[in-house]
Structure 1
Amino acid sequence: MNEIEILYQDKYLLVVNKPSGMLSIKGSRPEKGKSLIEILQEDFPSASIVHRLDMDTSGVMVIPTNRMAHRSIAKQFEERTTSKRYEAVVWGVMQNDEGEVNAALIADKNNPPRQKVDETNGKHAKTLYKVIDRTDKVTKLSLTPVTGRSHQLRVHLLSLGFPIVGDSLYSEGEALEYADRLQLHSCMLTFKHPITKKDIKIEAPAKLVI
């Protein structure tokens, strides 16, 4: 538990800051180590998963600790009434201060687990972005995923010509070598508390390389 920061806790749920390099749920390869939910269940046996972050993505996750909370929060994710914000560092200097990406996504069957843009057969996906900072090599972005497709932020930014640095799946060369981990962090999550129905907003500042 020492490697998992608890950001919020009550008798119905936990909100944690998942480290980069940790699976959200148990994988098929033991060498990947224990997943977030396996570690949490050692102290919170009824903890369950309602959403995931990629193994190399860090940041905020909500973890219900009873069935009622699970049903309520899962429904919020299904109905897209939660909101999330990420920060990322991409390779290249983005000229636009803000914008959006609308590009349908589908699994790349020839290169699993990669995803790809496919406007004919893919599922609708939308991402909003805003520049936070720039250097002569990289751009730091605030990202709001309107939809929640697998690898959505990573593939959408790649489709613009700005791969996330340190991304072993979608970047190469200088972009890959710029950082020793994927520079993508879930820094904010909002949802309604399953019992009180009050709006909950949890933040975890990003510690990204720029």
Structure 2
Amino acid sequence: MCWRTKSWRHCAPVASLPEDTLASAINDARACRVCEAFLPLGPRPVFHVSETARVLIISQAPGTKVHMTGLPFNDASGDRLRGWLNMSRDLFYDTSRIALVPTGLCYPGRLRNGGDAPPRPECAPLWLDRFIRLMPRIRLTLLVGSYALRNRLGKGAMTDRVMRWRETGPAIIPLPHPSWRTGAWERRNPWFGEELLPALRNGITEALT
């Protein structure tokens, strides 16, 4: 860094900032308390990341069962998602190959009408972008549910986003949230199982090879 006065110019070395690492990001995220006042069950960030992961699954936020177990997608929606992917639990939870990061790392609670509350808006800007930047080997990203779609692709109807999956593929594949309600949606949109899922499964195989 240099600065100048009327009579002389002075230069001094600038201390470099420490290099960010995935390990430091993990530790920082585990210790995060930014949203603590808004979390009915308290903070418990749930995610799986590694420097060697090839597939990244971005979802919305943990439910109560995931919050209690600390294991991403350890619930009925996870079973449905693994069925879509034709992926075993062992592979799904192999952190060296599959990264799992929700847009909200902690359980956000329920809405007054009984539905799940949205992910806390503070979370993704703090952690999701940082994790993505520190996982350079990711080849395929799955956007699971409306909140993940909106975070990465901007506003738009979920069905329209998923229907246009070829526009973002093969590197990014949009998916609906795999809740029990999605069964009726799948019946109304047979192309999802007939076209998208076979292509997605092939893409996963290629990304992990």
Give TM-score, length-normalised by structure 1. Answer: 0.29
User: Greater RCO between the two (CA within 8 Å, min separation 6)?
Assistant: 2
Whichever of the two has the greater Rg, that structure is 2
